[in-house]
């Protein structure tokens, strides 16, 4: 078996007295679609924020491709190949759709303030390449016709697609999606599932936080279940569905038991 792309060891995050993530460990293999599920407040998004380094763990290790990343600054993640989307959309409304996606390509570009100010030749060709990549990603999610519109003009579903395209523009090896289907209609949801499959075909490992069980059970290889910050189960969708602890966490304890 190949080395895992991501390994989380005894990861812990406390906010004051609250333990949001409690000694969670798991491994994600290359090319997997890994779902992270759990009731509200289970610590799923906190886990994401730890891995993408927006939060610093209280204890534990995060190892990405044999390299510890739990003390690196957040902006280094994109260049390493970790990209993500946000549950509560983080679209730059002051920019066009195309420019939003180009931000995803930021980490692949090199030119700084001086070469930009004087528009040296290599700057121009790098910019052209950035536009080209961004357009490719936009047509991948079906937003190419809106490239020049302001992001604030998009519908909710389109904004989800835009975040998707932006996350892909950095050419990630590990893509972390945070509730990509929430608030979408059935047709849009099917499209998201289709896109996730396509991305996996390109060799990208996908992590997925999702509340829609049908989507999770259909597309994931392995499901990790969190409850109150702890990992309570892990396995194939079928195994997890029949796990007693998982059923209890979702439906509550049966009275009299």
Partner 1 sequence: MSIKNSFLSLFKYTRERYTRQAPIAILVLFLILFPLIVYGNKYRIGVMTNVGINAIIVIGLNLLMGYAGQVSLGHAGFFGIGAYCSGLLTVNLGMSPWVSTILAIIFTAIIAYIIGVPALKLKGHYLAMATLGFGEVVFVVLSKMDWLTGDTSGLLGIPPFSIGSLEFNSNFAMGQYAFVWIVVLAILILSINITRSRVGRAFRAIHGSEVAASAMGVDIAKYKVQVFVLSAIYAAIAGSLYAHFHGFVGYPTFHLGTSITLVTMVVIGGSGNIWGAILGAILLTWLPEWLIVVKKYDIVVYGMLLMLVMIFMPDGIVGRLSALISRIRFRASSEEKS
* Identified binder of partner 1 from the candidate list 8, 36, 42, 91, rule CB under 8 A: 91
DSSP state of 159: H
Interaction of residue 87 with partner 1, rule CB under 8 A: no
- Helix segments in the chain, DSSP class H: 44-51, 76-80, 97-104, 113-117, 121-141, 156-169, 186-201, 213-219, 237-241, 244-251
Of 25 and 116, CB closest to partner 1: 116
Interaction of residue 112 with partner 1, rule CB under 8 A: yes
Interaction of residue 95 with partner 1, rule CB under 8 A: yes
* Identified binder of partner 1 from the candidate list 33, 37, 69, 77, rule CB under 8 A: 77
Q: Which 143-182 positions form the footprint of partner 1 (CB under 8 A)? A: 144-145, 147-148, 166-167, 170
CB count in 10 Å sphere of residue 171 = 16
**Cα–Cα dist 168/220, whole Å:** 19
Interaction of residue 19 with partner 1, rule CB under 8 A: no
3-state secondary structure of 127: helix
Interaction of residue 55 with partner 1, rule CB under 8 A: no
Q: Provide the token pair at 6.
A: 């991501």
3-state secondary structure of 69: coil
Interaction of residue 23 with partner 1, rule CB under 8 A: no
**Which residue(s) pair with 63 in the sheet?**
7, 68
For residues 160 and 141, the answer to whether their CB atoms sit within 8 Å is no
Of 95 and 193, CB closest to partner 1: 95
User: Pattern 179-218, binding to partner 1, x per CB under 8 A?
Assistant: ----------------------------------------
Give the up-direction half-sphere exposure of residue 121: CA atoms within 13 A in the CB hemisphere: 0
* Identified binder of partner 1 from the candidate list 130, 161, 177, 204, rule CB under 8 A: 130
Instruction: Provide the binding-site residues for partner 1, judged by CB under 8 A.
Output: 52, 54, 73-79, 83-84, 86, 90-95, 98-99, 102-104, 106-107, 109, 111-113, 116-119, 123, 126-128, 130-132, 135-136, 139-140, 144-145, 147-148, 166-167, 170
């Amino acid at each position: 078996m190949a080395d895992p792309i991501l390994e989380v060891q005894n990861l812990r995050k406390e906010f004051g007295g609250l333990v949001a993530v409690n000694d969670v460990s798991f491994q994600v293999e290359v090319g997997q679609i890994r779902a992270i599920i759990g009731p509200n407040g289970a610590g799923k998004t906190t886990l994401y924020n730890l891995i993408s380094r927006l939060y610093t763990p209280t204890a534990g290790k995060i190892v990405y491709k044999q390299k510890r990343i739990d003390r690196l600054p957040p902006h280094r993640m994109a260049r390493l190949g970790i990209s993500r989307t946000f549950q509560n959309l983080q679209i730059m409304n002051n920019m066009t759709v195309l420019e939003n996606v180009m931000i995803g390509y930021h980490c692949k570009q090199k030119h700084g303030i001086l070469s930009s100010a004087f528009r040296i030749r290599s700057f121009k060709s790098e910019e052209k390449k950035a536009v080209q990549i961004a357009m490719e990603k936009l047509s991948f999610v079906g937003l190419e016709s809106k490239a020049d519109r302001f992001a604030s003009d998009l519908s909710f579903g389109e904004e989800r697609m835009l975040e998707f395209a932006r996350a892909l523009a950095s050419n990630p090896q590990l893509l972390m999606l945070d509730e990509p289907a929430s608030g979408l209609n059935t047709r849009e949801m099917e499209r998201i599932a289709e896109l996730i499959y396509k991305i996996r075909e390109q060799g990208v490992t996908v992590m997925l936080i999702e509340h829609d069980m049908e989507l999770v059970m259909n597309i994931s290889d392995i499901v990790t279940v969190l409850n109150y910050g702890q990992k309570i189960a892990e396995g194939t969708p079928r195994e997890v569905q029949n796990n007693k602890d998982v059923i209890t966490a979702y439906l509550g304890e049966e009275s009299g038991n």
